[in-house]
């Protein structure tokens, strides 16, 4: 059982060693989904965060127990085969964080060969190692950075990671936008509310970032409601 709050960089390294092996990464499903108007999705496991609202919470809590290793070649083959069958030319990795460290980042770069890609990331590793962003330039990608709070305490409560790491995803966002990559932030609208979103907007503006913020909506699975309660989060309870 992961104690919270934890050091997410340490967790990223531990998780990467569980889900990567000789350049191969663990996945548990390949599918077409309706998001973004139709996208082919490779579902993976392993994340430096353990968000109270994560729909893949159990797999990400114990990534060593789940999934099978796939080479980048096999992932590209599977994605493009589904894409051809469904008439979709847009791809993503979901279910967990694609970038856990150097090895998973290199794996991702090769999987991008599938075609037009949306990278969904929590921004932790790109924010802590901004030089990686260089490798994402001039690729056929857009990047959605999921922001877990509007300040340190809300970030810690939602992500399970120590509040000192709150700024890392914002650094990633800034660097990605600065490098001219199509990037935008997303938040869990039901948990941020208007006030949390306004506070985040103010924080971003202070950093010179003016951008739209996508609002996601909470899937209120019983385990999600229970996880939020365990973290002391009152849904609709307002801002901390
Ligand atoms: S960052 Fe995403 S994948 Fe990781 S725990 Fe949070 S919701 Fe789940």
* H helix or E strand, kind and range, residue 10: helix 8-19
Range of the domain at 150: 8-230
DSSP letter for 7, please: -
Residues in CB range of 99: below 8 A, 6 or more apart: 105, 108, 121, 124, 125, 126, 132
The CATH number of whichever domain residue 195 belongs to comes to 3.20.20.70
Q: Establish if 86 belongs to a structural domain.
A: yes
Q: Establish if 41 belongs to a structural domain.
A: yes
Task: Supply the pLDDT for residue 238.
Answer: 53
What is the number of alpha carbons within 13 Å of residue 189 lying toward its C-beta?
A: 5
Q: Establish if 79 belongs to a structural domain.
A: yes
CA 116 – ligand 1 centroid, Å: 23
- For residue 51 and ligand 1, the question of a CB distance below 6 A is answered with yes
pLDDT tens for 203-230 read 999 999 999 999 999 999 999 999 999 9
Q: Establish if 116 belongs to a structural domain.
A: yes
Q: Establish if 66 belongs to a structural domain.
A: yes
Q: Establish if 239 belongs to a structural domain.
A: no
Q: Is pTM, for the whole model, over 0.85?
A: yes
What's the token pair of residue 35?
């998001």
Q: Which atom of ligand 1 is nearest to the CA of 95?
A: 3
pLDDT at 45 > cutoff 80: yes
Q: Establish if 1 belongs to a structural domain.
A: no
| CA-closest residue to ligand 1 atom 2 | 96
Cα separation, 113 vs 92, whole angstroms = 11
- Where residue 158 falls (left for φ over 0; alpha for ψ -120 to 50; beta otherwise) is alpha
Q: Establish if 2 belongs to a structural domain.
A: no
How many structural domains is the chain composed of?
1
pLDDT tens for 168-188 read 999 999 999 999 999 999 999
Cα separation, 25 vs 93, whole angstroms = 11
């Amino acid at each position: 059982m992961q104690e919270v709050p934890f050091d997410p960089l340490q967790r990223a390294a531990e998780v990467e060693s569980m889900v990567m092996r000789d350049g191969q990464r663990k996945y548990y499903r390949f599918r077409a989904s309706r998001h973004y108007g139709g996208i082919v999705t490779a579902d993976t496991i392993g994340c430096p965060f353990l968000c109270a609202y994560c729909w893949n919470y159990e797999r990400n809590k114990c990534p060593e127990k789940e999934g099978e290793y796939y080479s980048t070649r096999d992932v590209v083959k599977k994605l493009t085969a589904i894409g051809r069958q469904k008439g979709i030319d847009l791809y993503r990795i979901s279910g967990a964080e694609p970038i856990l460290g150097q090895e998973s980042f290199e794996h991702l770069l090769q999987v991008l060969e599938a075609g037009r890609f949306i990278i969904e990331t929590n921004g932790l590793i790109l924010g802590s190692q901004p030089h990686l962003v260089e490798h994402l330039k001039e690729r056929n990608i857009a990047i959605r950075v999921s922001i877990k709070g509007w300040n340190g305490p809300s970030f810690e409560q939602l992500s399970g990671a120590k509040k000192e790491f709150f700024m890392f995803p914002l650094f990633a966002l800034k660097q990605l936008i600065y490098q001219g990559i199509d990037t935008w932030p997303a938040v869990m609208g039901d948990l941020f509310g208007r006030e949390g979103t306004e506070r985040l907007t103010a924080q971003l503006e202070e950093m010179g970032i003016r951008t739209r913020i996508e609002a996601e909506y909470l899937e209120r699975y019983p385990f999600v409601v229970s996880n939020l309660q365990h973290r002391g989060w009152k849904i609709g309870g307002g801002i901390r």
